[in-house]
Amino acid sequence: MADRKSSSSSRLTVRRKEKAENEAKKEEKLPKEGEKPPKEGEKPEVNGKNAPVENGEAAAAATGAENGAAANGDKPEPMELPPFEIITGDRMDPFFFKFQFKNVEYSSGRNKTFLCYLVDQGTDGLLRGYIEDEHAGGHAEEAFFQQVLPNYDPACKYTITWYMSSSPCAVCAGKLAEVLKSRKSVRLAIFSARLFEWEEPEIQAGLKALAAAGCKLRMMKPLDFTYTWDTFVENDEEQFTPWEDCQENYEYYQDKLADILQ
């Protein structure tokens, strides 16, 4: 008899619990006072506004996937950069010049190259402008011979002067050396604000090969910065004032370049 009472009491408790849970679920589905029930296909409201659940769900899924990958020890897929872009123009923004051409020793954040060019073709006049490369897909040095001077006339003499934010990398130095060897009437002078990774052996070998091919290499002096500002920058007739350690940094880099080319 005691067993029956206990069993009956247990079943009654279970029914009451299930009834309470069902009523709680119904209350969650009912809109609160002052709120409109969502229409069919519409997301529920949060603080009186339709919540952008789809975007939130996508973000949550992406975050969950990344966390899951990290937990499993898997590396997330690298983000793809857009294709590189070569920008050409007549005069650059003054902010870009002051930042990209500053001849500091540690060039943090300066991950592109600005190349200002002058091309004297004799009777055909003078070409002037600048090239800026984006990302790592293509470099300004190579783009110059593709976009600015794509056609070579052996009967014409070319005197080319570049003012660069950074000296050429090893690959570009090698390509430029080949261009100078194959185009005998081209004379190239490169004046750089900074030396790019000058401690690396392949960089030093590339600069030596470039000099051996007849290219004039020199670091930019304070007067070169002033000339570049006047000639290639949208300066609104503002006078350029070199930064405090401009001369000191030039001497530092010029000594390094001289050591490499000796």
E-strand ranges in the chain read: 45-46, 49-50, 86-89, 114-120, 126-133, 158-164, 186-192, 216-219
Whole-angstrom CA distances from 15 to 5, 8, 18 are: 15, 11, 5
Q: Which SS3 state, helix, strand or coil, does residue 49 take?
A: strand
Whole-angstrom CA distances from 151 to 3, 116, 125, 140 are: 104, 19, 16, 17
Is residue 141 flagged as an active site residue? yes
Q: Which of 141, 178, 200, 234 is catalytic?
A: 141
Contacts of residue 130, defined as CB under 8 A and 6 or more positions apart, other chains included, come to 88, 89, 90, 91, 92, 114, 115, 116, 117, 232
Contacts of residue 45, defined as CB under 8 A and 6 or more positions apart, other chains included, come to 35, 36, 38, 51
Q: Are 250 and 103 in contact (CB under 8 A)?
A: yes
Active site members: 141
